[in-house]
Copies of this chain bind each other. A is one copy, B any other.
Amino acid sequence: MLKDVMMSRASVRKYSDKEVSDEMLNELFEASARTQTMGNLQLYSVVVTRSEEMKEKLAPAHFNQPMVKGAPVVLTICADFNRTSVWCKNRKAEPGYDNMLSFVNAASDALLFAQTFSCLAEEAGLGICYLGTTVYMPGMIIDALQLPKLVMPVATLTVGWPAEEPALSDRLPVASFVHSETYRDYLPADIDKYYKEKEALPENQKFVEINQKETLAQIFTDIRYTKRDNVALSASFMETLRKQGFLSD
């Protein structure tokens, strides 16, 4: 059952030497393709990286996180309105998908596909890690994988057989993210209640201490995801979207 898989899963960053066969990957892709998609158009593509040469090229775009070279397979999942547009042009139809809404639609299709793949792969015993760096320097990935216009990388998964059994990471209580009928904003007492467990974790307390911060939240705002980085990366993300032809209007 997926339910049991989910309740015991954790991201895997170290992989054994055991091969992940093309046959297995294709079966996973076929089942993943049953995922809901806009107008049955399947607005995504997957680029499969196995060669050392291509991993070398992708690694810097992912801040040289060791999973890129350490995993037998790296999957770059892309929002893709190119294939559909080529189909239209070959069928006397004028595609109008060079705009933001079409990017949002294709990115949604791609991310839903990616997550079904992740669930199926973990159910099959594979270890998976998402690389959040995908949207930081998409231009480097586009160059390495030779992505044409109307194709934009939105998720990267490293895939292999697990060589580690990582501990489960913490999660907020369900009540913290579920709202009934309308959104009720968070009062200080809600925040205290919902973040108490996360803030009390020994590893988080140690992280705060090592970095000489006062609170765990400061680890996020001052070190991991700073305003300065976010602003710079937002600008380059939009620039890349434009370069890929999604902001023609």
Contacts and interface: CB of A to CB of B under 8 A. Distances in A.
Interface stretch (A13-21, A62-70, A159-167, A172-180): A172-180
Contact of A225 (B39, B46, B155, B191): B39
Nearest to A130: B36
A178 to B, nearest CB: 5
A99 to B, nearest CB: 4
Most B CB atoms within 10 A — which of A171, A176, A177? Answer: A177
Contacts of A36: 11, 118, 128, 130
Interface string A22-46: 0000100111111110111110111
A178 B123 contact: no
B112 A176 contact: no
Interface in A169-194: 169-172, 174, 176-183, 185-186, 188, 191-192
Contacts of A101: 135-136, 230, 233-234, 237
Interface residues of A, number: 119
A102 interface: yes
A87 to B, nearest CB: 5
Given A54-B181, A177-B44, A186-B86, A226 B96 contact: yes
Given A45-B179, A48-B181, A230 B99 contact: yes
Contact of A217 (B5, B46, B87): B87
A2 B119 contact: yes
Contacts of A92: 214-215, 217-218
B186 A88 contact: no
Contacts of A171: 33-34, 40, 42
A11 B2 CA distance: 19
A102 B178 CA distance: 21
Contacts of A124: 3
Given A93-B221, A96-B221, A220-B41, A111 B115 contact: yes
A94 B29 contact: no
